[in-house]
Amino acid sequence: MRLTLTQLKHLSVETVSGVKLGRVHDVVFEIDGQLVAQYLVRRPLLGGALYRISRDQVVRFEEHRLIVDDGVVKESVQEEVFGKKQVRVEPVLTREE
């Protein structure tokens, strides 16, 4: 499968267990090997979390989405906010090379 950057940036991203993280916002390339080092994923809400997903954490590509390892999500905490349950997802740190 081949994707253009435009197609890649329209993919939704979710974990193997089905937690939706957002959409691919940008890509970090490793210049020496001409490889994708990380995918930057942003939640759709204004001021949403930004996830740095290593290429090692990608499980598979599907037609309209990118499936990543459950380890991308550090924790999922339910909070009561004005009587409604809200799930807060925090990004996990990835290695810097």
CA-to-CA distance for 80 and 41, rounded, in angstroms? 26
User: Which is more confident, 44 or 87?
Assistant: 44
The 3-state secondary structure of 20-56 reads: EEEEEEEEEEECCCCEEEEEEEECCCCCCCEEEEEHH
Residue 38 is predicted with a pLDDT of: 92
Residue 49 is predicted with a pLDDT of: 77
User: What's the rounded mean pLDDT across residues 5-25?
Assistant: 91
Could you give the C-alpha distances from 47 to 31, 42, 44, 50, 65, in angstroms and in order? Answer: 29, 9, 8, 9, 22
User: What's the rounded mean pLDDT across residues 63-81?
Assistant: 68
pLDDT tens digit string along 42-60? 887 766 778 889 999 999 9
Supply the pTM of this predicted model. Answer: 0.70
